[in-house]
Amino acid sequence: MSRKSLDAFPDHAVSATAAAEAPWPVRRRHREKYAMNKELLAFIIVAVLLAVVPFTFGTSTTFIAMSLAKGLAVLGILILLRAGQVSFGHAMYFAIGAYAAAFLSSAFRGIDMLLLIGAAILASGVAGAIVGIFVTRYRGIFFGMVNLAFSMVFYSILEKAFHITGGSDGMRIRRPTLLGMELKRAEFDIAIYYVILLFALLSVWLVWRYLRSPMGEALRAVKSNETRLEYVGLSAKSVLLGGYIASAVLCGIGGVFMGMVQGLATPEHAFWTRSSELVFIAALGGPAHVAGAFGGTVVFEAVRTYAAALLDDSWQLILGVTLIVIILWAPGGMVELFRRLTGLDRAKTLTPEAGR
Protein backbone atom coordinates (compact mmCIF):
# COMPACT_ATOMS: atom_id res chain seq x y z
CA MET A 1 0.00 0.00 0.00
CA SER A 2 1.51 3.33 -1.10
CA ARG A 3 1.92 6.43 1.02
CA LYS A 4 -0.56 8.30 -1.19
CA SER A 5 -3.25 5.70 -0.69
CA LEU A 6 -2.60 5.66 3.05
CA ASP A 7 -3.22 9.40 3.23
CA ALA A 8 -6.77 8.79 2.14
CA PHE A 9 -7.54 6.89 5.36
CA PRO A 10 -8.00 8.27 8.88
CA ASP A 11 -5.23 7.62 11.40
CA HIS A 12 -7.12 4.89 13.25
CA ALA A 13 -7.83 3.10 9.96
CA VAL A 14 -4.14 3.25 9.05
CA SER A 15 -3.12 1.71 12.36
CA ALA A 16 -5.72 -1.03 12.00
CA THR A 17 -4.54 -1.76 8.45
CA ALA A 18 -0.91 -1.82 9.53
CA ALA A 19 -1.72 -4.17 12.40
CA ALA A 20 -3.60 -6.50 10.07
CA GLU A 21 -0.69 -6.59 7.61
CA ALA A 22 1.96 -7.09 10.32
CA PRO A 23 3.75 -10.45 10.55
CA TRP A 24 2.08 -13.12 12.72
CA PRO A 25 4.55 -12.88 15.67
CA VAL A 26 3.94 -9.12 15.87
CA ARG A 27 0.16 -9.59 15.81
CA ARG A 28 0.41 -12.29 18.44
CA ARG A 29 2.41 -9.99 20.71
CA HIS A 30 -0.23 -7.30 20.28
CA ARG A 31 -2.98 -9.71 21.21
CA GLU A 32 -1.06 -11.04 24.21
CA LYS A 33 -0.37 -7.50 25.39
CA TYR A 34 -4.05 -6.63 25.01
CA ALA A 35 -5.07 -9.74 26.96
CA MET A 36 -2.50 -8.99 29.65
CA ASN A 37 -3.82 -5.44 30.03
CA LYS A 38 -7.35 -6.78 30.46
CA GLU A 39 -6.16 -9.25 33.09
CA LEU A 40 -4.30 -6.48 34.91
CA LEU A 41 -7.44 -4.35 34.88
CA ALA A 42 -9.47 -7.29 36.24
CA PHE A 43 -6.84 -7.83 38.95
CA ILE A 44 -7.05 -4.19 40.04
CA ILE A 45 -10.86 -4.24 40.07
CA VAL A 46 -10.96 -7.41 42.18
CA ALA A 47 -8.36 -5.98 44.58
CA VAL A 48 -10.41 -2.82 45.05
CA LEU A 49 -13.62 -4.79 45.58
CA LEU A 50 -11.94 -7.00 48.18
CA ALA A 51 -10.48 -3.95 49.91
CA VAL A 52 -13.93 -2.47 50.55
CA VAL A 53 -15.56 -5.71 51.77
CA PRO A 54 -15.30 -4.80 55.51
CA PHE A 55 -17.18 -1.57 54.80
CA THR A 56 -19.81 -2.95 52.42
CA PHE A 57 -20.32 -6.60 53.41
CA GLY A 58 -19.02 -6.63 56.95
CA THR A 59 -20.65 -9.96 57.81
CA SER A 60 -18.70 -11.65 55.00
CA THR A 61 -15.28 -10.45 56.18
CA THR A 62 -14.41 -13.67 58.02
CA PHE A 63 -15.70 -15.83 55.17
CA ILE A 64 -13.58 -13.98 52.59
CA ALA A 65 -10.55 -14.05 54.91
CA MET A 66 -10.79 -17.83 55.28
CA SER A 67 -11.28 -18.24 51.53
CA LEU A 68 -8.19 -16.17 50.81
CA ALA A 69 -6.19 -18.16 53.36
CA LYS A 70 -7.15 -21.45 51.74
CA GLY A 71 -6.59 -19.89 48.31
CA LEU A 72 -2.94 -19.32 49.23
CA ALA A 73 -2.57 -23.06 49.82
CA VAL A 74 -4.27 -23.83 46.51
CA LEU A 75 -1.81 -21.46 44.84
CA GLY A 76 0.93 -23.79 46.04
CA ILE A 77 -0.85 -26.74 44.45
CA LEU A 78 -0.97 -24.86 41.13
CA ILE A 79 2.83 -24.60 41.12
CA LEU A 80 3.11 -28.38 41.28
CA LEU A 81 0.43 -28.80 38.63
CA ARG A 82 2.60 -26.72 36.31
CA ALA A 83 5.12 -29.56 36.56
CA GLY A 84 2.37 -32.14 36.01
CA GLN A 85 2.55 -33.41 39.60
CA VAL A 86 -0.36 -33.79 42.03
CA SER A 87 0.26 -33.89 45.78
CA PHE A 88 -2.25 -35.52 48.12
CA GLY A 89 -0.26 -34.53 51.19
CA HIS A 90 0.24 -30.78 51.08
CA ALA A 91 -2.22 -30.30 53.92
CA MET A 92 0.74 -31.26 56.11
CA TYR A 93 2.35 -27.89 55.42
CA PHE A 94 -1.00 -26.20 56.03
CA ALA A 95 -1.01 -27.79 59.49
CA ILE A 96 2.65 -26.92 60.09
CA GLY A 97 1.86 -23.24 59.57
CA ALA A 98 -1.08 -23.38 61.98
CA TYR A 99 0.79 -25.31 64.67
CA ALA A 100 3.82 -23.02 64.41
CA ALA A 101 1.52 -20.15 65.36
CA ALA A 102 -0.10 -22.22 68.13
CA PHE A 103 3.19 -23.15 69.80
CA LEU A 104 4.64 -19.65 69.61
CA SER A 105 1.49 -17.88 70.78
CA SER A 106 1.31 -20.25 73.77
CA ALA A 107 4.95 -19.73 74.66
CA PHE A 108 5.05 -15.95 74.10
CA ARG A 109 1.92 -14.04 75.00
CA GLY A 110 1.36 -10.94 72.93
CA ILE A 111 3.70 -12.09 70.16
CA ASP A 112 3.41 -10.07 66.97
CA MET A 113 1.41 -11.43 64.05
CA LEU A 114 4.26 -10.83 61.63
CA LEU A 115 6.54 -13.03 63.73
CA LEU A 116 3.99 -15.83 63.59
CA ILE A 117 3.81 -15.50 59.81
CA GLY A 118 7.59 -15.52 59.57
CA ALA A 119 7.79 -18.62 61.77
CA ALA A 120 5.21 -20.40 59.60
CA ILE A 121 7.17 -19.54 56.45
CA LEU A 122 10.39 -20.83 57.98
CA ALA A 123 8.86 -24.02 59.41
CA SER A 124 6.97 -24.97 56.24
CA GLY A 125 9.94 -24.08 54.04
CA VAL A 126 12.34 -26.26 56.06
CA ALA A 127 9.84 -29.12 56.16
CA GLY A 128 9.25 -28.76 52.42
CA ALA A 129 12.98 -28.90 51.73
CA ILE A 130 13.46 -32.04 53.85
CA VAL A 131 10.45 -33.91 52.48
CA GLY A 132 11.05 -32.59 48.97
CA ILE A 133 14.47 -34.24 48.80
CA PHE A 134 12.71 -37.61 48.97
CA VAL A 135 9.48 -37.02 47.05
CA THR A 136 10.99 -35.21 44.04
CA ARG A 137 12.63 -38.47 43.03
CA TYR A 138 9.22 -39.74 41.97
CA ARG A 139 6.66 -38.76 39.34
CA GLY A 140 2.97 -39.27 38.74
CA ILE A 141 0.96 -41.38 41.15
CA PHE A 142 4.07 -42.27 43.16
CA PHE A 143 4.72 -38.58 43.80
CA GLY A 144 1.17 -38.15 45.10
CA MET A 145 1.24 -41.28 47.27
CA VAL A 146 4.59 -40.53 48.92
CA ASN A 147 3.32 -37.07 49.82
CA LEU A 148 0.16 -38.65 51.22
CA ALA A 149 2.25 -41.05 53.33
CA PHE A 150 4.28 -38.21 54.88
CA SER A 151 1.09 -36.26 55.56
CA MET A 152 -0.64 -39.16 57.31
CA VAL A 153 2.41 -39.86 59.47
CA PHE A 154 2.37 -36.21 60.55
CA TYR A 155 -1.37 -36.40 61.18
CA SER A 156 -0.88 -39.46 63.41
CA ILE A 157 1.82 -37.67 65.41
CA LEU A 158 -0.50 -34.72 65.99
CA GLU A 159 -3.27 -37.09 67.11
CA LYS A 160 -1.17 -39.27 69.40
CA ALA A 161 1.13 -36.68 71.02
CA PHE A 162 -1.71 -35.43 73.21
CA HIS A 163 0.45 -33.80 75.89
CA ILE A 164 2.31 -31.76 73.27
CA THR A 165 -0.22 -31.04 70.53
CA GLY A 166 -3.50 -31.35 72.41
CA GLY A 167 -4.50 -34.44 70.44
CA SER A 168 -7.71 -34.30 68.44
CA ASP A 169 -8.80 -31.18 70.35
CA GLY A 170 -5.92 -29.25 68.86
CA MET A 171 -4.21 -26.17 70.28
CA ARG A 172 -5.54 -22.70 70.84
CA ILE A 173 -3.88 -19.85 68.97
CA ARG A 174 -3.91 -16.79 71.18
CA ARG A 175 -4.72 -13.51 69.55
CA PRO A 176 -1.44 -11.88 68.52
CA THR A 177 -0.58 -8.21 68.43
CA LEU A 178 0.04 -6.28 65.24
CA LEU A 179 3.10 -4.03 65.17
CA GLY A 180 3.01 -3.99 68.97
CA MET A 181 -0.66 -2.96 69.19
CA GLU A 182 -3.16 -5.09 71.13
CA LEU A 183 -6.43 -5.31 69.25
CA LYS A 184 -9.94 -6.17 70.34
CA ARG A 185 -11.77 -8.93 68.54
CA ALA A 186 -13.59 -6.72 66.03
CA GLU A 187 -10.43 -4.71 65.32
CA PHE A 188 -8.39 -7.89 64.99
CA ASP A 189 -10.82 -9.36 62.45
CA ILE A 190 -10.46 -6.31 60.20
CA ALA A 191 -6.70 -6.10 60.69
CA ILE A 192 -6.05 -9.74 59.85
CA TYR A 193 -8.37 -9.48 56.85
CA TYR A 194 -6.21 -6.77 55.31
CA VAL A 195 -3.00 -8.62 56.18
CA ILE A 196 -4.32 -11.74 54.45
CA LEU A 197 -5.47 -9.68 51.47
CA LEU A 198 -2.04 -8.06 51.19
CA PHE A 199 -0.28 -11.43 51.28
CA ALA A 200 -2.75 -12.89 48.78
CA LEU A 201 -2.22 -10.10 46.26
CA LEU A 202 1.54 -10.21 46.73
CA SER A 203 1.58 -14.00 46.35
CA VAL A 204 -0.48 -13.85 43.17
CA TRP A 205 1.99 -11.40 41.64
CA LEU A 206 5.06 -13.36 42.78
CA VAL A 207 3.73 -16.73 41.57
CA TRP A 208 2.64 -15.17 38.28
CA ARG A 209 6.15 -13.78 37.80
CA TYR A 210 7.72 -17.07 38.85
CA LEU A 211 5.70 -19.14 36.40
CA ARG A 212 6.62 -16.77 33.55
CA SER A 213 10.29 -16.77 34.49
CA PRO A 214 12.91 -19.18 33.08
CA MET A 215 12.56 -21.33 36.20
CA GLY A 216 8.80 -21.45 35.71
CA GLU A 217 9.27 -22.53 32.11
CA ALA A 218 11.74 -25.14 33.31
CA LEU A 219 9.08 -26.37 35.73
CA ARG A 220 6.74 -26.83 32.77
CA ALA A 221 9.47 -28.80 31.00
CA VAL A 222 9.45 -31.28 33.89
CA LYS A 223 5.96 -32.21 32.71
CA SER A 224 6.66 -32.27 28.99
CA ASN A 225 10.26 -33.43 28.48
CA GLU A 226 12.70 -33.96 31.36
CA THR A 227 15.40 -35.29 29.04
CA ARG A 228 15.51 -32.07 27.04
CA LEU A 229 15.72 -30.15 30.31
CA GLU A 230 18.79 -32.16 31.30
CA TYR A 231 20.36 -31.47 27.89
CA VAL A 232 20.32 -27.72 28.51
CA GLY A 233 22.16 -28.21 31.79
CA LEU A 234 19.28 -28.08 34.30
CA SER A 235 18.50 -30.77 36.82
CA ALA A 236 14.83 -31.76 36.67
CA LYS A 237 14.96 -32.81 40.31
CA SER A 238 16.39 -29.46 41.41
CA VAL A 239 13.82 -27.53 39.39
CA LEU A 240 10.98 -29.56 40.89
CA LEU A 241 12.46 -29.23 44.38
CA GLY A 242 12.46 -25.44 44.08
CA GLY A 243 8.81 -25.48 43.04
CA TYR A 244 7.99 -27.94 45.80
CA ILE A 245 9.50 -25.72 48.50
CA ALA A 246 7.63 -22.70 47.14
CA SER A 247 4.36 -24.64 47.22
CA ALA A 248 5.04 -25.80 50.79
CA VAL A 249 5.66 -22.21 51.92
CA LEU A 250 2.40 -21.03 50.36
CA CYS A 251 0.53 -23.81 52.13
CA GLY A 252 2.22 -22.85 55.40
CA ILE A 253 1.18 -19.21 54.98
CA GLY A 254 -2.39 -20.28 54.26
CA GLY A 255 -2.34 -22.50 57.35
CA VAL A 256 -1.10 -19.81 59.74
CA PHE A 257 -3.73 -17.38 58.48
CA MET A 258 -6.50 -19.96 58.79
CA GLY A 259 -5.33 -20.78 62.29
CA MET A 260 -5.27 -17.15 63.39
CA VAL A 261 -8.73 -16.48 61.95
CA GLN A 262 -10.22 -19.54 63.67
CA GLY A 263 -8.04 -19.24 66.77
CA LEU A 264 -7.31 -22.95 66.63
CA ALA A 265 -4.92 -25.49 65.13
CA THR A 266 -6.20 -29.07 64.84
CA PRO A 267 -4.90 -32.33 63.33
CA GLU A 268 -7.72 -32.11 60.78
CA HIS A 269 -5.62 -29.53 58.98
CA ALA A 270 -3.19 -32.33 58.06
CA PHE A 271 -5.76 -35.01 57.18
CA TRP A 272 -5.84 -36.37 53.64
CA THR A 273 -9.30 -34.94 52.98
CA ARG A 274 -7.88 -31.41 53.37
CA SER A 275 -5.21 -32.22 50.77
CA SER A 276 -7.89 -33.55 48.44
CA GLU A 277 -9.87 -30.33 48.93
CA LEU A 278 -6.91 -28.30 47.75
CA VAL A 279 -6.53 -30.42 44.60
CA PHE A 280 -10.29 -30.30 44.00
CA ILE A 281 -10.33 -26.51 44.28
CA ALA A 282 -7.37 -26.22 41.89
CA ALA A 283 -9.30 -28.21 39.27
CA LEU A 284 -12.46 -26.22 39.92
CA GLY A 285 -10.79 -22.83 39.58
CA GLY A 286 -8.51 -23.77 36.72
CA PRO A 287 -4.87 -24.89 37.00
CA ALA A 288 -3.73 -22.76 34.06
CA HIS A 289 -3.89 -19.40 35.87
CA VAL A 290 -3.09 -18.13 39.36
CA ALA A 291 -6.51 -16.50 39.63
CA GLY A 292 -8.09 -19.95 39.58
CA ALA A 293 -6.78 -20.66 43.08
CA PHE A 294 -8.86 -17.92 44.68
CA GLY A 295 -11.85 -18.05 42.35
CA GLY A 296 -12.19 -21.79 42.93
CA THR A 297 -11.82 -21.39 46.69
CA VAL A 298 -14.56 -18.77 46.94
CA VAL A 299 -16.96 -20.94 44.90
CA PHE A 300 -16.04 -24.05 46.88
CA GLU A 301 -16.56 -22.40 50.27
CA ALA A 302 -19.74 -20.62 49.16
CA VAL A 303 -21.31 -23.82 47.80
CA ARG A 304 -20.31 -25.77 50.90
CA THR A 305 -21.61 -23.10 53.28
CA TYR A 306 -24.94 -22.34 51.65
CA ALA A 307 -25.65 -25.85 50.35
CA ALA A 308 -25.09 -27.28 53.83
CA ALA A 309 -27.59 -24.74 55.18
CA LEU A 310 -30.19 -25.72 52.58
CA LEU A 311 -29.62 -29.47 52.42
CA ASP A 312 -28.10 -31.27 55.39
CA ASP A 313 -25.25 -33.62 54.50
CA SER A 314 -25.81 -33.01 50.79
CA TRP A 315 -23.34 -30.24 50.02
CA GLN A 316 -20.89 -32.78 48.53
CA LEU A 317 -23.53 -33.75 45.97
CA ILE A 318 -24.14 -30.13 44.96
CA LEU A 319 -20.41 -29.42 44.83
CA GLY A 320 -19.78 -32.50 42.72
CA VAL A 321 -22.50 -31.53 40.24
CA THR A 322 -21.05 -28.00 40.09
CA LEU A 323 -17.60 -29.37 39.25
CA ILE A 324 -18.98 -31.73 36.60
CA VAL A 325 -20.88 -28.91 34.90
CA ILE A 326 -17.83 -26.63 34.87
CA ILE A 327 -15.51 -29.37 33.59
CA LEU A 328 -17.90 -30.35 30.79
CA TRP A 329 -18.51 -26.76 29.75
CA ALA A 330 -15.04 -25.38 30.45
CA PRO A 331 -12.34 -28.04 31.03
CA GLY A 332 -9.92 -25.30 32.06
CA GLY A 333 -12.05 -24.43 35.08
CA MET A 334 -13.53 -21.10 36.08
CA VAL A 335 -10.63 -19.18 34.55
CA GLU A 336 -11.41 -20.60 31.10
CA LEU A 337 -15.07 -19.82 31.66
CA PHE A 338 -14.21 -16.22 32.51
CA ARG A 339 -12.00 -15.91 29.43
CA ARG A 340 -14.76 -17.21 27.20
CA LEU A 341 -17.22 -14.68 28.58
CA THR A 342 -14.75 -11.79 28.20
CA GLY A 343 -13.19 -12.87 24.89
CA LEU A 344 -9.69 -13.29 26.36
CA ASP A 345 -9.43 -16.86 25.09
CA ARG A 346 -9.23 -15.66 21.47
CA ALA A 347 -6.14 -13.61 22.24
CA LYS A 348 -4.55 -16.59 23.98
CA THR A 349 -5.36 -19.42 21.59
CA LEU A 350 -5.23 -17.97 18.07
CA THR A 351 -2.88 -19.87 15.78
CA PRO A 352 -0.94 -18.42 12.84
CA GLU A 353 -3.31 -20.13 10.48
CA ALA A 354 -6.33 -18.71 12.26
CA GLY A 355 -4.88 -15.25 12.15
CA ARG A 356 -4.40 -15.22 8.41
pLDDT band at 6; cut points 50, 70, 90: very low
Q: Does residue 13 carry a pLDDT above 50?
A: no
Q: Does residue 251 carry a pLDDT above 70?
A: yes
In a domain, 329, yes or no: yes
Q: Does residue 8 carry a pLDDT above 70?
A: no
In a domain, 355, yes or no: no
In a domain, 6, yes or no: no
In a domain, 19, yes or no: no
Q: How many domains does the chain have?
A: 1
What is the model's pLDDT at position 48?
87
Count Cα neighbours of 145 within 13 Å in the Cβ-side half-sphere. 5
In a domain, 356, yes or no: no
Rg (CA), the chain: 23
In a domain, 24, yes or no: no
Q: Which residue has the higher pLDDT, 57 or 310?
A: 57
The answer to whether the CB of 136 falls within 8 A of the CB of 68 is no
In a domain, 203, yes or no: yes
Q: Residue 131: which domain range?
A: 30-344
Phi, psi of 177 (to 5 degrees): -90, 170
Q: Residue 296 belongs to a domain with what CATH number?
A: 1.10.3470
Rounded mean pLDDT of the chain?
Answer: 81
Q: d(Cα 261, Cα 193) in Å, to the nearest integer?
A: 9
In a domain, 56, yes or no: yes
> For the whole model, what pTM was predicted?
0.82
Q: What residue type is 219 in one-letter code? A: L
Q: What is the mean pLDDT of residues 49-56?
A: 86
